[in-house]
């Protein structure tokens, strides 16, 4: 099921871990509404990057999310977040730089371990929080030293 021109329900709900462990990762109608909103926001980001985004994690059922050790309040469980890379654009740090510079109306953009980007949206009150998470902890994105 296509949620937007470049993003499908299957892409935003697929999980190799869920498949391997037999975890049901089927979204509710409410979650599909959130995923449709998310897909629309991702179209804007894809336009900024000018290249396809390779999504490694989108919606996660609470069972899957718990298995992965993520917080119970994760936006992934609401269908409002993705983890992705965009190698045709550049490394995850440059992707975060572009998203922050473009003034995308995100809730959170997080550079995670210099390996992927977490991007979440909130339909009502986005926090516009840009962070880095790595082995040293969590800090504001602007604290990056190159």
Give, in degrees to the nearest 5, the angle at Cα 118 between 114 and 123.
155
Confidence of residue 101 (pLDDT cuts 50, 70, 90): very high
Whole-number pLDDT of residue 22: 96
Give the mean model confidence (pLDDT) for residues 28-41: 98
Whether the pLDDT of residue 140 is over 50: the answer is yes
What distance in Å separates the CA atoms of residue 70 and residue 98, rounded to the nearest whole number? 26
Q: pLDDT digit string (tens) for 68-86?
A: 999 999 999 999 999 999 9
Whether the pLDDT of residue 33 is over 70: the answer is yes
Q: pLDDT digit string (tens) for 112-130?
A: 999 999 999 999 999 999 9
Confidence of residue 142 (pLDDT cuts 50, 70, 90): confident
CATH placement of domain 9-143 = 3.30.1380.10
H or E stretch at 133? strand 129-134
Give the mean model confidence (pLDDT) for residues 3-30: 97
Confidence of residue 146 (pLDDT cuts 50, 70, 90): very low
Domain boundary assignment for the chain: 9-143
One-letter-per-residue 3-state SS of 63-94:
HHHHHCCCCCCCHHHHCCEEEEECCCCCCHHH
For residue 134, CA distances in Å to 16, 105, 108, 137 come to: 23, 24, 16, 5
H or E stretch at 127? none
């Amino acid at each position: 099921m296509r949620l937007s021109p470049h993003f499908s329900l299957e892409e935003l709900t697929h999980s190799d871990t869920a498949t391997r462990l037999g975890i049901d990762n089927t979204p509710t109608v409410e979650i599909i509404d959130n995923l449709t909103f998310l897909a629309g926001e991702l179209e804007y980001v894809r336009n900024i990057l000018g290249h396809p985004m390779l999504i490694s994690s989108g919606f996660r059922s609470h069972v899957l999310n718990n298995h992965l050790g993520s917080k119970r309040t994760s936006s992934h469980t609401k269908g409002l977040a993705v983890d992705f890379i965009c190698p045709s654009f550049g490394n995850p740090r440059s992707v975060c730089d572009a998203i922050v510079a473009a003034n995308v109306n995100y809730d959170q953009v997080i550079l995670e371990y210099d390996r992927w980007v977490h991007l979440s949206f909130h339909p009502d009150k986005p926090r516009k929080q840009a962070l880095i998470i790595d082995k040293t902890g969590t800090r504001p994105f602007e604290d990056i030293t190159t």
